[in-house]
Amino acid sequence: MAAAQDILESQVASLTTKGLVARRFKINEQTYVESTIQAPAPPWDRSTYTILVAVPVAYRVGAGLDGFYIQLPYKFNDGAHSKVNGATLVADKRTFQLVSWHYADGKEWMQGQDTLETHLVHCRGFFFHRGARNAY
Which of 58, 61, 80, 104: binder of another protein (CB under 8 A)?
104
Give per-residue burial for 112-127: e unless 16+ CB within 10 Å, then b: eebbbeebbebbbebb
Residue 111 within binding range of another protein, rule CB under 8 A? no
Burial (CB < 10 A; 0-12, 13-18, 19+), residue 31, is middle
Residue 33 within binding range of another protein, rule CB under 8 A? no
Report the alpha-carbon distance of residue 73 to residue 61 in Å, rounded: 35
Using CB under 8 A, which of the segments 2-10, 72-80, 86-94, 122-130 binds another protein?
A: 122-130
Residue 60 within binding range of another protein, rule CB under 8 A? no
Using CB under 8 A, which of the segments 1-9, 27-35, 71-79, 121-129 binds another protein?
A: 121-129
In sequence order, the 6+-apart residues with CB closer than 8 A to the CB of 50 are 22, 34, 35, 36, 37, 70, 71, 94
Which of 7, 8, 20, 54: binder of another protein (CB under 8 A)?
20
68-71/84-91 β-pairing: unpaired
Which of 26, 40, 46, 111: binder of another protein (CB under 8 A)?
40
Q: Which amino acid is at 13?
A: A
Which of 15, 37, 51, 53: binder of another protein (CB under 8 A)?
15
Binding site for another protein (CB under 8 A): 14-15, 18, 20, 38, 40, 64, 66-67, 83, 100-105, 107-110, 113-114, 117-118, 121-122, 124-126, 128-136
